[in-house]
Every structure is written in structure tokens, then in C-alpha cells.
Structure 1
């Protein structure tokens, strides 16, 4: 049994549609109206799978133009803006139809229209909608699975992050995601979008650091034909493509000064101009940005616009590095293995104790993305039911050995050997402590249960400086292909 495809035909012309008096086939139910008023009344009461509209009806007054047609069309379809629409046009209006098809509608047909043409176009639209629905379903399933794995956390910092995500997701507020490379800022941006009222609209991601300074404005805001050498036609930017949805700007600190000015205008007025254009373009978007830099410091040093920083810093969320939530590592690892099992049709059930100890002892400078890469590599190499130590990278396998057994020098007297081991332990402990607290003396001292004076004394003894442990100064992640 099949469901009918409801098609709305809006046309004041009768003669060219005579073939449609015969049925298009058992799968279609056609509703015909001859005016926009009648169509508007219908659209308020009923949802159609697609609409075919005579272009001449969209002309408001004596002036013809794409903007006129577009405005009338938007007003008509306001109750159901997602309805796929095809323009029916006479030959002399084809240029307008072509431009509408490139920006607003799904396609166009020229008069007179044969029933077979209409059916072919309707079939294509319906198939396209089915594919989009399937992709949307699979995408939602994918992110909901990841969300389930993320929320299964025992880390207090992570629970605070998830609470903040839950609080801000339903709003339109701008969100600033802070965190080291590889912590999953892109995932959290997706989670915010998926749990907002815009979840069925576009989520457009832009890696600002991967686009050259000369192209970034065109990429974000689009350009007009002839705006620069090589601009052979109008191009819509990411902000226009994200209209109604969410735009995620990763590595926001790399934006050029001129692009920062335009972004500030979008945040303030919800408008911008394409490169080479003079007309304001209005957009309704949710902006999420991410950085692994200290934007406040950059703005204080005049390396980033201070007014833009304050506009972006409406709702900051700091995502902790993996080394600060190591209790979650086994859960994350198991989730990655289960995904790989589904993809590769293998059945690995986890990691053996030695391998797990090594994974838990490593500092993970590349965070979750580095863990993902390591697990995938080990998974491919593994021939048993559990990931073994021998299939982990050497730098991780050796960490386990060096961290579980301190070297003992038996050539020294007992007291001297003991003191040497204590010094080695104290230095290693302080390095771990300062790394986990990002070099914050008060927090580190409180965690260690000592005074700040005692901590500074120990740091001087072992030649440790707080500047070496600031998260924003960390070296780039070895997982260089992971942006967030």
C-alpha cells in the first residue's frame, strides 16, 4: 500500500493544463487553484508534498524582478517554507526562473507543459525528499548515539559542560566553545544545534583556519558577479546557506580583520553585504564559534577585535581535555570499538589490562581525536578479541612501563636512592598537577593540599614555570587532521 503524493498546482492558465485533466498516475493527488489568495488559504490548512506555481502570478504590481518574485513566493509559502517548489514560466520570463532556481526554488518548467514533464519533475522532487529524509534520520541517529556516549561521564567538569549545553541549546544566543585541539568542539556545536529548535535546518561548518585570508570573506559572505578576477557569477556565502539554521565557525581567532568587521555586523544587525555588493542581505542564523586560543588575551593584545570578542563571549563553554577526565576513557574507547565493529564487521570486545593501563597512563595531547586515531589503528592490526599492548603506538606502550616502575639505582645507599625516587616522583606529580590545572597556582595548591608558597618553592626547586602549562600555549596536536 502506498501513500498519495499531494501536489498543489497554482495557475491562472487553463488551456496548457488540459492534459492534467487525465490523471498523472495512481501516486498523485492534484489540487488546482487559479489565484494566490486561494493558494494561501489552502496552505494554511494543509501541507503539500510539492507546489507548481505560474511565475506570472508572483508579479506584484507593474515591476518585474527576481526580488519581487522571491518576496511574493516567500509570503505565499510562509506556513510551510520547506515545501519543494517548481516555477512554471513562459519563454520571455525564463531568465527570472533560472535565477530563482539557482537561489530559491527547486526548478522550473516552460509553458506549455506536458503531463509527462510534470510527472518526471514531481517524481524527482519526491525521490530527493526521501533521500534528504533518510540522510537526516541517519545524521540524527549518529549524533544521538554520540550524545549518549558523551553524557555517560563521571567527570564533574564534563557534567557542568553538558548542563550548560542543555541550558543554551534552546536559545538563539551566540556560543563560544573553548578547548584544546581534539577535545570535540565540533561535536559539541552539533549537539547544541541538534537540541535546538533549528535541528531540522542547516548546520554549516566553516574551518576558518583552512581558508586563505584572500578568500575568507567570499567564502563566508558570498560575492557578486565581477566582484574580483574570476568571479564569473554570483556566489552565495556560508551565512546565506545557513539561513534559518546554525553556522559553526571553527578557529575563529584566525579571521582576518576585515572579516571580523563583517561578522560583528551580522551579530549586531543580522545583515551583511556580499563582496562587491551594495545590497544588505538579511539572515536568521544561530552562531557558534570555537577556538583553542585565549580570545580574551588576543583581544587585550589588539590581535583580535575587542568589541567582537565581547559579542562572541555571550555564553562561553570550556571543554576539558581528555587528561582531566581519564575516568571516561574506557567508556569512550568502548564506544569507538563498537562503531568500528559495525563498520568493519569484526567483533572486538575491548582492550586487555596491559593495553588499558597504557592508554590510561598516556597524557593525550591530541585529546579524544588522538584516542580515536590510536584505537582505529590498533583495531585494524588486532587479530584477537581484545586490543593488545603490542598494537598500540610505541610512545603509548612505553608510557605504561615508565609510569608504573620508577628506575631504581642500586649503586646508591638506601637513603640516597629513596631521596632520588622522591624527587623524581615530586617532579612528575607537579608536572601532572600543573598540566591539569593549566598552570593556575591557587587551584594547583588547593588540589595538592599545600600552600601557594610551598608550591612555588617546589616549582623553583624543579625549575617549573606556570607559562609552560597554560592550555592555550600547548603544542599542536599530533592528530593534525582534527580541527576541534
Structure 2
């Protein structure tokens, strides 16, 4: 059964909506925008709102103000199409709303045939888009952990670049803060290149002593130096036909920089103590969390090597600049942990996800992985709750949940607003913990199921949203 929200003049006739879908829908009506917006959190199938309820306040009637409301609706229910209703004389305003993000508009009084036409047209368009996304996305199907899922425009651009460069043999330079996932992106490029069946060899340049780095990368001949009792193959030789990932390439000592430059220029190298040229049939992906241009200016990195590595640069954003992806990344991390260490833990408490959104993540994705793994060990319930995470992660979240003080309000009204806010957040938390089960939630809260139903109606909560 479809759930449809309608927000408009209480005296208007909206029966055409019900006639359009007959017994297949449940229509909820609202006389103002606030409860309508709260009800969107329940992810209805369709929503209709009178254009006069959009962009209220100063500047009303501009695309920017319509966009403000429509963006807020989309954040609550990204899969719910919102249609604008208007009187014939307000058609121009409805068109502005469509440009600002509404799915389409309908002129009052409503006609069931017109409703069916615009909604079916939208469904056909969405189906075509899904098919197109599927065809585009087939390129990434080799990724076992589905790391290419993203809601971030910045990351979509990153994946667009990686998709274009992966089939080539072009040298790639990945930049970004520590822990943003440069190694994961390098492996992704390898998996989607024509070298995928060959080795992927990762080398952390900063973790190898300077005296051993050339031997590790290029190998050595027997007797090349004290302790070289046998011939050793280097990483470039082991990676032949595949990809070598040079992480923290900015830490390479000058002598190794010279030899790496030779590999990039001549596509060959010699083992330490050797005289024979060995072909470097390998694709190089380098990564750094330092500014190589600044290192070049400080004479700590060769400028000619920088230009050889910087053929196709890709900058990865820090986690704090892609907060919309945190729930997806966290769910993927939890799924990977459960594969190796199964448990009844099924997800994250809402307060934890909110804390994730507000926390600055100085250690980026790596830090997120660490705190989730720690919480997974400590948690005793079926949801990862605040008690299992470091307390400092919730300092910002606790401050943000407090409503701003409005001294212009009477004390009674200010108190009512604070109570309503606390009540709604409490109900969301408890409903989530009990997967939307009314009887269990009411028992936990110490109230009757009837009282719980009344509270949920007041705050626009639906049990289906918590299952």
C-alpha cells in the first residue's frame, strides 16, 4: 500500500489523489508545512504540497527559497518525489519550484488522470535512469566491498577520474590526508585495469630504512653489499606485468628518487650491484599526504620526478568533507567485521550516527575503522551505542542537540519546545533499539501502547521507519 502525504488548504478537495490509486494508498493530510516535513522522515511513496507553503518568509517566491525547503525535504526522504500543487494564477511560481528541485507540478483542482500521468511518467524516467546507472556501474562490479557507493559530489568526481584512468597505463598520483583511503583507491584502479590478473604490490616507502629501500624496490645481486648472501628480487620485478603502489613516496631518499626517475623515463632498472638492465613492465601508482610541490621548493624532492609522477593527479577529500558518506562507509566496515567475527549486532544507534556526522575525524576513514572495531568488541546489545565509543566523540553531538535559547519566548513556551525536542529524540532512539515494535517500545518507555501511538502521531513518527 502506498503512503501519500498532502499538504495544502484544509478546505481543498484532494479526493482525486485517493481515486487515482483506489484501495492501494493511504493519504495523510496536513494543514501546515512543519508536520508535513516531519512526516517525510517516514519515507512515504509520494508527497504533494501547495506552492504557497514553500519558501515562506523573507524572499518568498524566489527559486533560492524554494530550493531551501525542497533540499530539506530531500534530505529527510531522498527517494520520495515531491509534487507542487498550485492555483492556475500561480503556475509561474510552480515552475520556479520545479526548477528548484520539485518532481513536477499539478494545477488545482486536481484531476485523477493528470495525477496518474505525471507520476507514471516520473516512474518511467526513474526506471530509465536506474538502467543507465546500472550500465555505467558495471565497470565497478569487481569491487568486493562496494567502496564506490557514495552520496558525495566530491567523491563522485574522484570515481569519475579513476574510471577514466584505470584502463590506461598512465602513472597516477593520489594525494590526501593520512587515512583517507589512498591504498583502497590504488587497489581499485588496479582491479579495473587490464593488469588485474597480475600482482598488485604495495610498498610503504616511509616504513623501510633508508639503507634498504633500494634493495627492497629494485633487488640486489649476491655479494652486492655485506650480508647480501644471495640474489634478491625487488618489488618492481615481483610486480612485473601488474601494478606497484608507492605509498608516502615523498619520504624516498635522494638516491632512490634518482633511480625511480630512471624507471619512469627508461622503463628499466638494475638491481643493486648488478649491470644488466631489467625491463620495468609495471604500472606505477604513487601516493602522498605531503605537498610535493613544497618539498620540491625546499629541495627535498626532485622536481623532475614530481612531474613524472604527477601525470594524472587525484586528490582524495578528508572524511569531514564527505560526511554524507559516513553512514555508507560505517555500514561497509561493520559488514566486513561481521564476515570474520559474526555477531547479532545489526547497526548503529541514531545518536552514534549523529555523533559520526559532527566529529571532525582527524584520522579519516582509518580512524572510523578503528573506533567501530573497538565498539564491536565492547558492545553487548544488537546496536552499537554511545557507551562503546570514545566519550570525546559525543561532546559536539551533545552540544548540538540542545535547542538554541530564544529569550523572546515566555518560559512556558520555551519549556514546551525543549520537552518536545527531547521527547522526539528519545522516541526515535527507543524505537530504533526495538526495531519499531510498539509493544516492546512502550514497555521500555513505561507507557501504554495507546500513549505511545499518540506521541508518535504528534511527532510524525512511523514504526515502519525503524524496522
- What range is the shorter-chain TM-score in? 0.5 to 0.7
Q: Distance in 2 between matches of 1:282 and 1:344?
A: 44
* Cα deviation code 1:351-379 (max 9, x no counterpart): 11212211111000000110011111111
Aligned partner of residue 177 in structure 1, secondary structure: strand
Shift of 1:279: 1.5
Cα distance in 2 for residues equivalent to 1:335 and 1:327: 14
* Cα displacement (A) at 1:144: 1.5
Alignment RMSD: 2.0
SS of the aligned residue for 1:345 comes to coil
Match of 1:357 among 354, 357, 363: 354
Q: What's 2:157 paired with? A: 160
Q: 1:185/1:391 Cα in 2 relative to 1: closer, same or farther (>3 Å)?
A: same
Deviations 1:189-239, CA, capped at 9 Å, x for gaps: 000000000000011110000001110001001111111100001111001
Matches within 5 A, 1:49-60: none
Matches within 5 A, 1:25-44: none
Q: For residue 165 of structure 1, report the CA deviation from its aligned partner.
A: 0.5
Aligned equivalents of 1:287, 1:173: Cα separation in 2: 8
Q: CA deviation at 1:277?
A: 1.2
* Aligned partners of 2:174 and 2:316 also within 8 Å: yes
Report the counterpart of residue 303 of structure 2 in structure 1: 306
Partner of 1:170: 167
User: Is contact 1:390-1:397 (8 Å) kept?
Assistant: no
SS at match of 1:360: helix
Equivalent residue, structure 2, for 1:28: none
For residue 200 of structure 1, give the secondary structure of its aligned residue in structure 2: coil
What does 1:29-428 align with in structure 2 at a 5 Å threshold? 144-146=143-145, 148=146, 150-405=147-402
Report how many aligned residue pairs link the two structures: 268
Tell me how far apart the structure 2 counterparts of residues 165 and 344 of structure 1 sit (CA, whole Å). 32
User: 1:407 deviation in Å?
Assistant: 9.9
CA contact (8 A) 2:142 2:192 kept: no
1:466 counterpart residue number: none
Q: Distance in 1 between matches of 2:270 and 2:296?
A: 25
In structure 2, list runs of 5 or more residues that go unmatched: 1-139, 408-467
What are the superposed Cα offsets for residues 409-445 of structure 1, whole Å, 9 maximum, x if unpaired? Answer: x9xxxxxxxxxxxxxxxxxxxxxxxxxxxxxxxxxxx
Q: Greater CA deviation, 276-285 or 168-177?
A: 276-285
Distance across 1 between alignment mates of 2:335 and 2:225: 50
Give the whole-Å Cα distance in 2 for the aligned partners of 1:201 and 1:151: 22
- CA-CA distance at 1:335 after TM superposition: 1.3
SS in 1 for 2:322: helix
Question: Separation in 2 of the partners of 1:295 and 1:383?
Answer: 46
Provide, for residues 381-416 of structure 1, a one-character-per-residue CA deviation record: whole Å limited to 9, x for no partner. 1111111111111211223223444998x9xxxxxx
TM-score, reference length from structure 1: 0.54
- Structure 2 partner of 1:104: none
Residues of 1 paired with 2:184 and 2:143: CA distance?
A: 11
Task: Please report how far the alpha carbon of residue 347 of structure 1 lies from its aligned counterpart in structure 2 after TM superposition.
Answer: 2.3
Shift, 1:142, TM fit: 11
How far the C-alpha of 1:344 sits from its partner, in A, is 1.5
Structure 1 unaligned runs (5+)? 1-140, 411-484
2:150·2:325 contact (CA, 8 Å) conserved in 1?
Answer: yes
1:393 and 1:399 map into 2 onto residues whose CA distance is 12
Q: Which aligned pairs between 1:441-460 and structure 2 lie closer than 5 A?
A: none
Q: CA–CA distance in 2 between the matches of 1:398 and 1:326? A: 18
- 1:184 & 1:325 partners in 2: Cα distance? 13
| Displacement over 3 Å in runs of 4+ | 402-408
Residue 46 of structure 2 corresponds to none
